[in-house]
Amino acid sequence: MLTHERDFARTLARQAGAIMLEHFRTGVAHRSKGDGSPVTAADEAINQLMLESVNRTYPGDGVIGEEGSSPATSSGRIWVCDPIDGTIPFTFGIPTNMFSLALVDDGLPVLGVLYDPYLDRLYEAAQGEGASVNGQPISVSDAPLSGAFIALHGAQFGLLDNAAVMSDAITQGMRVLALGSIVYESALVATGQITACVFGGQSVWDLAAVKVIVEEAGGVVTDLHGEPQRYDGSVTGGLISNRMAHTALADFMRTHVAGLGAG
């Protein structure tokens, strides 16, 4: 269901994609935010468009956007948006970046849309209704973790010692990708192209849409401990997998998350 919200999210995704394409080039102008991460005029324009659109169409709903939010109001629903996930690749003219939008109801993502404007791939899922790309159903792989292609962070930041996780994964025979966008990488899990991803950040806009899209494609998304979590505030990272590999992935991560406290 959520037919109206789905149409709304789809339209917004395509509008965001048009803005991304308009700005996308090697060396696009950007400035550094307080946390050192880059932001471009495209990130800000998409966030603004999303805020105005939600406030106009669903005035009872709240918004959490990476570049600006508006408080939750009467409905208990929050739209969670990363206007561009993968801003670093975006500024290098590398097309591994995506628009991401989720509708979260009482802490649970019930609708998600991702858009890759470079390949014109619109991913969508609603709880209980399956996941698709451009209307075609998608599903995860059934590969085990052993020898798997797995996406990890390629720099030190967030909750994990990423160098240690990567070294351990390679030593154990996994093949590692670091594409600079957890949303892009998670979409590859949803389509069965790779087996799993590990996310060490705490920003809910990186995971909310991924949660419903990967799970509706047959996969699993948990916190770094392998436990469920809410998607209406900070998250304790994420393990994103094809389900088959999830227990092995949580076991593999156990030593790396030991100092983080209970899940």
Contact residues for ligand IPD, defined by CB under 6 A: 37, 66, 82, 85-88, 153, 158, 180-182, 201, 206
Task: Sort residue 32 into left (φ over 0), alpha (ψ -120 to 50) or beta.
Answer: beta
169 versus 244: smaller Cβ distance to ligand IPD: 169
Q: Which is nearer to ligand IPD, 110 or 207 (CB)?
A: 207
Region of residue 229 (phi > 0: left; psi between -120 and 50: alpha; otherwise: beta): beta
CB of 93 to Ca ion, least distance (A): 17
Rounded to a whole number of angstroms, the distance between the first and last alpha carbons of the chain is 32
| Count of all residues that appear for the chain in the document | 263
Using rule CB under 5 A, residue 216 touches Ca ion: no
For ligand IPD, the closer of residues 105 and 211 by Cβ is 211
- The option from ligand IPD, Ca ion, none interacting with 37 (CB < 5 to 8 A, set by class) reads ligand IPD
Interaction of residue 206 with Ca ion, rule CB under 5 A: yes
Kindly tell me which of 93 and 137 has the beta carbon lying closer to Ca ion.
93
Q: How far apart are CA 12 and CA 103, in angstroms?
A: 13
Q: How far apart are CA 165 and CA 168, in angstroms?
A: 5
Q: Which of residues 41-70 bind Ca ion (CB under 5 A)?
A: 66
Residue 85 binds Ca ion (CB under 5 A) = yes
Among positions 42, 65, 78, 82, the unique one binding Ca ion when judged by CB under 5 A? 82
CB of 259 to Ca ion, least distance (A): 24
At residue 136, φ and ψ (nearest 5 deg) are -95, 130
In the complex, residue closest to ligand IPD by CB = 201
Alpha helices for 97-197 (secondary structure H): 162-171, 182-190
- Which helix (H) or strand (E) covers residue 119, if one does? none
Q: List interacting residues with Ca ion (CB under 5 A).
A: 66, 82, 84-85, 206
